[in-house]
A and B are shown apart, each in its own frame.
Chain A
């Protein structure tokens, strides 16, 4: 455990203490949503939720349950703050990306409330680094009002197959079109780029398709620039659920296993693209 120094507040002054033996269990999942600089942290008894948003159209959330942490103590019901995620990730990975087996960086993350910085104690091989990151007033995250009763179409796919498609997406296309339907083409990703259009079709009876519940044919378009960052979360995940609701809002939920095999979730919410795009 890291040494405490005289200038640090005592442990009992912190309103949030979260400790991990392996900081990667936090840093890896945060990298999956690090497409913007600022992140809203929200800690409850259940665990930590980190939110990143883009242009009021996209929201990404990472959930790390309390039981993933070796220590997770809250003095208040809800603790919230906002920090620069890029800086935070730089600190969490301050010892470099060591993949020497058995060598892990430990983390103790402490926060003593409004107006105080977020304090990180990182230790590897007896060397301790203390980082203090300024916090800001947490913004209210958008509420996409996405509830399961409104869901029209839902599929759960194994990530491997979708990973290939996402890595090949034609980036000259401004939009990514998603078609979900109880009939052919079932589940289709389409792009409309400079060289022509491309379609990736997943049949409902594919082995990669773990769940297929489509009630209505829906085609929705989303800005490629908003969805492309989700590729990082996809890369970490083993399964992904894709849901659209009656408004065409998209929910992507990724099941991620961390280094210790524990499960965390990342989700992306995206608004459909309003502009009329011609093929």
Chain B
């Protein structure tokens, strides 16, 4: 494998890596014919990001001849190579990423001004393929706007805010901070921002919807989008289905797939907030009534599940529990064992609890509270974490 980037694209590559570092702690790198993919996923598997840099992005692009190389490494290692973005711009003329198969190292070489050569030989681990299954083309709602709009909007929310709620109708979109179930509305600060369709380059809402997702990960994408100046699209559907934020141009494609809070927990919150914008669809995510077998089938298959109970699951099975805990499955497209393995990592309690929200008694909370007495409905054969 041998990829050479020059000029301004070195900074784009660095920004992509910094952006992925906001999602997860490991960088998954896989050169394929279509280009170089850089991916990251968070520990609770509720956020996934993928950058595809096409061969045209590079001055020279050579994927490994057997097309079977993929690796992962701590993202900090790669960030260390591109540490100072301003000095990258000033002094780096060329960046080369090569696989040194004898020494089992990924060599990143920066050719800088004045003849300075920086060579980093990074160790990596072999890994399974990491790919979320999502289908943004079939999402009911698509909004697209210049990054500046998103950045300015997000600026209104405090950095400590974890989740943001987005609701749309045909003409407007509202963004609100999401309050925990146990938050006292009279003591909490509520922020609400309303944008009209005109602010967007593209505003297509086929189904009024109200989703809640993690703001921090959105910020990760905005870091990249702002510097690239490319418009950011948001594709989403029903609560519980993932929201896909993407940025693309002729040489690169970035997708950030984020879990959204599932319906019933959502509904309960809305009752609390007295803003009843979304009628419940209890059947959709009432996991008690899911056919456990069909659910398990969905998890193991590598095809998109077309036969799950409940409406709007175009791309993704409902995910009631800790394993593939959120909107997008992350199975390897080839191997089940890998899915099991990936999925056994202890999920972030909070996001798991989001999805248990729908089946819990009203006293449950969306905090790091152990969920008592929760019967695991559809678990991995290996995963026995009762608390999620």
A201/B119 contact (C-beta < 8 A), A164-B87, A206-B114 known = yes
Total of A-B residue pairs, C-beta within 8 Å: 62
Is residue A138 contacting chain B, with contact meaning CB distance below 8 A? Answer: no
Q: Chain A residues near B116: list those with CB within 8 A.
A: 161, 164-165, 200-202, 206, 208
Could you tell me if A206 and B87 are in contact, using CB atoms closer than 8 angstroms?
no
Of B69-77, B126-134, B204-212, B366-374, the stretch lying at the interface with chain A is B69-77
Encoded as 1 (CB less than 8 Å from any B CB) or 0, chain A from 195 to 227 comes to 111111111011110000000000000000000
8 A Cβ contacts from B71-103 to A: 73-74, 76-77, 80-81, 83-84, 87, 91
- The answer to the question of B288 belonging to the interface, with a C-beta cut-off of 8 Å to chain A, is no
Q: Is the CB of B76 within 8 A of A195?
A: yes
A194–B78 Cα distance when bound, in Å, is 12
Looking at the complex, which one of B73, B74, B114, B121 makes contact with A197 (CB distance below 8 Å)?
B121
Collect the chain B residues with CB atoms within 8 Å of residue A201's CB.
Answer: 116-119
Residues of B within 8 A of A12 (CB): none
In the complex, chain A residues 159-190 whose Cβ is within 8 Å of any chain B Cβ? 161, 164-165, 167-168, 170
- Say yes or no for B12: interface residue by CB 8 A criterion: no
Q: Are B115 and A196 in contact (CB under 8 A)?
A: no
B126–chain A nearest beta-carbon distance, Å: 16
8 Å CB contact of B80 from A168, A203, A207? A168
A198 and B121 contact, CB distance less than 8 A: yes
| Across the A-B interface, the 8 shortest Cβ-Cβ residue pairs | A195-B77, A206-B115, A196-B122, A201-B117, A203-B115, A199-B119, A208-B114, A198-B120
Q: Counting chain A CB atoms within 10 Å of each CB, which of B73, B115, B119 scores highest?
A: B115
- List chain A residues, Cβ under 8 A from B281: none
Say yes or no: B115 contacts A170, CB within 8 Å: no
Q: Is the CB of B83 within 8 A of A168?
A: yes
Nearest Cβ on chain B to A66's Cβ, whole angstroms: 37
Give the size range of A's interface with the partner: 20 to 34
Within 8 Å by CB of A195, from B84, B114, B123, lies: B123
State whether the Cβ of B105 lies closer than 8 Å to any Cβ in chain A. Answer: yes
Q: DSSP majority for the A interface?
A: mixed
The residue that B115 contacts in the complex, of A198, A199, A202, with Cβ under 8 A, is A202
Scan residues 31-65 of chain B and give those whose CB is less than 8 A from a CB of chain A.
Answer: none
Evaluate contact between B77 and A205: CB separation under 8 angstroms: no
20 cross-chain CB contacts under 8 A: A164-B84, A164-B87, A164-B116, A165-B116, A168-B118, A170-B80, A195-B77, A195-B80, A196-B105, A197-B120, A197-B121, A198-B81, A198-B120, A199-B119, A199-B120, A200-B119, A205-B115, A206-B116, A208-B114, A208-B116
B114 touches A161 (CB 8 A): yes
Which partner residue on chain B sits nearest A192 by CB separation? B121
Query: From residue B140, how far is it (CB to closest CB) to chain A in Å?
Result: 43
A167 touches B84 (CB 8 A): yes
Kindly list chain B residues whose C-beta atoms are within 8 Å of the C-beta of A199.
117-121
How many whole Å from A202's CB to the nearest CB in chain B?
Answer: 6
B119 contacts A164, C-beta separation under 8 Å: no
Task: Point out the residues of chain A lying under 8 angstroms from B83, CB to CB.
Answer: 168
In whole angstroms, what is the CA distance A207 to B91 when docked? 14
Residues of B within 8 A of A197 (CB): 120-121
- Per the bound structure, the CA–CA distance linking A206 and B114 in Å amounts to 5
Tell me which residues across on chain B come within 8 A of A168, comparing CB atoms. 80, 83-84, 118
Beta-carbon contact of A200 and B118 below 8 Å: yes
Q: Which of A164, A196, A199 has the most CB of B within 10 A?
A: A196
Q: Give, as a whole number of angstroms, the nearest-CB distance from B97 to chain A.
A: 13
Q: Which of A167, A196, A198, A207 touches B114 (beta carbons < 8 Å)?
A: A207
Contact A195 B122 (CB under 8 A): yes
- Bound together, the chains give a CA A201 to CA B112 distance in angstroms of 10
Q: In the docked arrangement, what's the CA distance between A141 and B119, Å?
A: 38
Bound Cα distance A161, B116 (Å):
8
Q: Given A194-B77, A203-B117, 13 other A-B contacts at CB below 8 A?
A: A164-B87, A165-B116, A167-B84, A168-B83, A195-B76, A196-B105, A196-B120, A199-B120, A200-B117, A201-B118, A202-B116, A206-B115, A208-B114
Cα(A232)–Cα(B81), bound, Å = 22
**Looking at the complex, which one of A167, A196, A205 makes contact with B123 (CB distance below 8 Å)?**
A196
Q: How far is the CA of A164 from the CA of B114 in the complex (A)?
A: 12
Per the bound structure, the CA–CA distance linking A198 and B81 in Å amounts to 9
Contacts of A194 in B (CB 8 A): 77
> What is the distance, in angstroms, from B53's C-beta to the closest C-beta of chain A?
22
Q: Are A198 and B76 in contact (CB under 8 A)?
A: no
Bound CA–CA A208/B112 (angstroms): 12
- Roughly how many angstroms separate A165 CA and B113 CA in the complex, as a whole number? 13
Cβ–Cβ < 8 Å partners of A164 in chain B = 84, 87, 91, 116
Taking CB atoms, residues of chain B closer than 8 Å to A208 are 114-116
Mask of B293-322 contacts with A, CB within 8 angstroms, 1/0: 000000000000000000000000000000
Whether B118 and A198, one on each chain, are in contact in the complex, defined by CB atoms closer than 8 angstroms, is yes
Q: What are the residues of chain B within 8 A of A196 when measuring CB–CB?
A: 77, 105, 120-123
Complex alpha-carbon distance, A203 and B118, angstroms = 12
Q: How far does the alpha carbon of A194 sit from the alpha carbon of B80 in the complex, in Å?
A: 11
CA distance A206 to B112 in the complex (A): 11
**Nearest residue, chain A, Cβ from B124:** A196
Candidate in B74, B77, B87, B120 with the most chain A CB atoms within 10 angstroms: B120
